[in-house]
Structure 1
């Protein structure tokens, strides 16, 4: 069985108040070397073992684009492991 790991984050042009809150909290507890935090979502998709690498990539990209992200404010990256 193949697994796809999909990471969804806000586009860099979109304000991330939750990330800013986390960065401020880190600074207050002594982690002042962190210059930025962006929050996001992480998904693991279990894919059929019979898919080719190209089919798996095509399916994961379609799912991420159509279902897992809001393309206006979010972007995604992914990796597939066999």
Structure 2
């Protein structure tokens, strides 16, 4: 089975209230050296072994379903057995 990972993050110019909340909580944990925190999402898609055009299909899925291109960017990575797929 082929695995594709799609990482979706808010664009840098978009405020990230969840990241700001985490950043604000870090001093209570004794962590004071963090400059910023951005929160995103990771989506793993497993394709059948005979699937073709994995990256192209994954980009369509990400662009039309997983990410809002107005406020989010995404990256697509194809995992192989050497870099983490079981």
TM-score (norm 2): 0.86
Task: Find 1:66's aligned residue among 64, 67, 77.
Answer: 64
Unmatched runs of 5 consecutive residues or more in structure 1: none
**Deviations for 1:24-68, whole angstroms, at most 9, x for unmatched residues?**
10122211111110001111100121134xx00100111000000
Structure 1 residue aligned with 2:21? 21
For 1:4 and 1:74, the matched residues in 2 are separated by: 19
CA contact (8 A) 1:27 1:34 kept: no
The runs of at least 4 aligned residues of structure 1 exceeding 3 Å deviation read: none
Q: 1:76, 1:28 → 2: CA distance?
A: 32
Q: How does 1:1-82 map to 2 (within 5 A)?
A: 1-52=1-52, 55-82=53-80
SS in 2 for 1:64: helix
SS in 1 for 2:24: helix
- For these two proteins, the number of residue pairs brought into alignment is 80
Unaligned runs of 5+ in 2: 81-86
